[in-house]
Structure 1
């Protein structure tokens, strides 16, 4: 047994590496299977909420936790960024924040990207800030910025900006200056760059909505269009929409119009860690087989492939998670 181990070691194959990779791959695959079984058990013990069809035109929030966190941050004179793919519900969440703040008596200015001066004028109008001087002349961009900054310093007011990623860079730099003076603001953006104002404030990444919420949205959209969808049809449309509420409503529209769609526009990510580990184990096994059968080509190929795989895996392991990378 010792002699066999020595022969393997002399020929360049480390038995410990083989054992570690084999055990690691087995554990990862077993963990994946256990997670799936556990999730199924959870679904059995804790079934999805019963679908409640909101009344036509009724406004329903499916992201209550994000709403509460955003409101709390703004009231603490903080700033927060809500990021997510198109149609993930950023604007709906922003409107809910506005309604809640205004219902409590706070002043809120909501703007969408246009030219910097138009945006400044819109903010000034919503805050009732004069846009003309004593001589009746319109204020310049710089004077508007100073007037708004002074107003925010003296009053409890909130600035909410939709599609902030589409704003002019100079305007975003002005927002950064406002944040230095602790002006509370909420930014809504799709894939915002990690620069200027976006790197200065904490962010909330909107995850896909759960299946029951997407189904409720589809059922409500179908009811508004006076069409009946079978459970099998809902399931098919739900796969097309993923967890995106806008795509859920669009899928119902396409079904109503009889439009056949093969693909989906939503993003969906899968954990391929078990597959990667399995590939690594296969490479090492190939090297071991080549050694046992005296197939030099297979032995060399397995060794080179295993070395490259281990190197790439190590590099990827050292990289930060996607949501922490600087773009």
Structure 2
């Protein structure tokens, strides 16, 4: 399946990333989950090949795990010593490449982020070759963790991925050149699905319906395309009914009415208070009818609806006795 979906439609963004890496810039690849950021990063590094002397790949999604993995790889590359990691004396003087990671993993895991950083940064600073640190996920960083990464930036070239650029770590994004990995075009998705049908020999009652459905449901997200093709490929024959039953959340677009409904609900509840305060029974009745209508709206089946219902109910339940 990988050879079918692969990097189809991603050639330009891979070349753009290669160019930025050659310039020595820090880069952040952005885009939703499953869009193919890690695949683009991997392809760019593969394309550069031996042009990069040192590459450290970090696959963990948590900052602490990333720093532990960085320590492991730097030890194996002999960029850091056992003494710098404060390992037991028996490891002192032993080349890092000869140390069994299983023996020291628990001890390194117990180190705090600050201690890890204080060990890693001087080791990186001493090395003449500036390594490339490729990080699969920088989405969940906290401001404190951001500070540790900013310290790393001075001694290594960082290429990362993030499904969301959180404002609380904006100082990190300011130092990185952003490359957005966008959804594949409908034409590209159609070409991928057609290639899949031809190479896999799948029996499909209505190929055109199948292709159109995957295009719509996948939303141009490579992982969604992969999932849908892989799942449907398990069927012996894909008829129209099975095609219509194919679903993927990547292609579902939610229109969030929550802010609008909250404002509308607050206005309706306020009508009841105004009616009670002024003695206007008609306004009070209209406010009550409005509350009932809002509670029955099908909008509350949409994302965030339950929270709005609870919010309105809490306000409505605090009203005083009707006039």
Question: TM (normalized to structure 2)?
Answer: 0.56
Which residue of 2 is the match for residue 88 of structure 1?
Answer: 35
Secondary structure of 1:110's counterpart equals: strand
- Alpha-carbon distance between aligned partners in 2 of 1:232 and 1:209, rounded to the nearest angstrom: 19
Match of 1:206 in 2: 181
Change (3 A) 1:218 1:82: same
Closer, same or farther in 2 for the Cα pair 1:91/1:223, shift >3 Å?
farther
Matches within 5 A, 1:144-183: 144-151=119-126, 154-167=128-141, 169-179=143-153, 181=154, 183=156
Give the secondary-structure state (helix, strand or coil) at the position aligned to 1:165: coil
- 2:9 is matched with which residue? 62
2:25 and 2:208 map into 1 onto residues whose CA distance is 44
Pairs within 5 Å for 1:281-296? none
Counterpart contact for 1:162–1:187, Cα < 8 Å: yes
Task: Tell me the matched-pair count.
Answer: 215
2:26 equivalent to 1:79: yes
SS of the equivalent of 1:82 reads: strand
The aligned counterpart of 1:216 is: 191
Question: C-alpha distance in 2, partners of 1:55/1:87?
Answer: 14
1:218-256 CA-partner distances (Å, limit 9, x unpaired) = 344456654244122111121111211111111112323
TM-score, normalised to structure 1, is: 0.56
Q: CA deviation at 1:183?
A: 3.1
Partner Cα separation in structure 1 for residue 43 and residue 59 of structure 2: 16
**SS of aligned partner of 2:134:** strand
CA distance in 2, matches of 1:101, 1:263: 35
Structure 1 residues 121, 167: CA separation in 2 closer, same or farther (over 3 Å shift)? farther
The aligned runs of 1:178-193 (5 Å cut-off) are 178-179=152-153, 181=154, 183-193=156-166
Give unmatched runs, 5+ long, in structure 2: 93-103, 109-114, 236-241, 256-323
How far the C-alpha of 1:120 sits from its partner, in A, is 2.8
Q: How does 1:96-111 map to 2 (within 5 A)?
A: 96-111=43-58
Q: CA deviation at 1:94?
A: 0.9
Secondary structure, in 3 states, of the residue corresponding to 1:146? helix
Give the aligned CA root-mean-square deviation in angstroms: 3.3
Residues 118-157 of structure 1 mapped to structure 2, 5 A cutoff: 118-125=68-75, 127-133=77-83, 135=89, 136=91, 141-151=116-126, 154-157=128-131
Q: CA deviation at 1:193?
A: 0.8
- Go from structure 1 to structure 2 and tell me whether the alpha carbon gap of 1:191 and 1:267 turns closer, same or farther (over 3 Å shift): farther
Structure 1 contact 158–184 (Cα < 8 Å) conserved: yes
Is contact 2:28-2:161 (8 Å) kept? yes
Using the TM superposition, give the Cα deviation of residue 90 of structure 1 relative to its aligned residue in structure 2, in angstroms: 0.4
Shift in alpha-carbon separation, 1:156–1:200, aligned structure 2, 3 A: closer
- DSSP-derived class of the 1:235 partner: helix
What displacement does 1:99 show? 0.6
Offset of residue 67 of structure 1: 1.7
Q: Structure 1 residues 211 and 122, CA, compared in 2 at 3 Å: closer, same or farther?
A: farther
The 2-side partners of 1:149 and 1:245 are apart by 36
**Residues 228, 151 of structure 1: CA spacing in aligned structure 2 closer, same or farther, 3 A cutoff?**
farther
For the pair 1:112 / 2:85, whether they are aligned, the reply is no
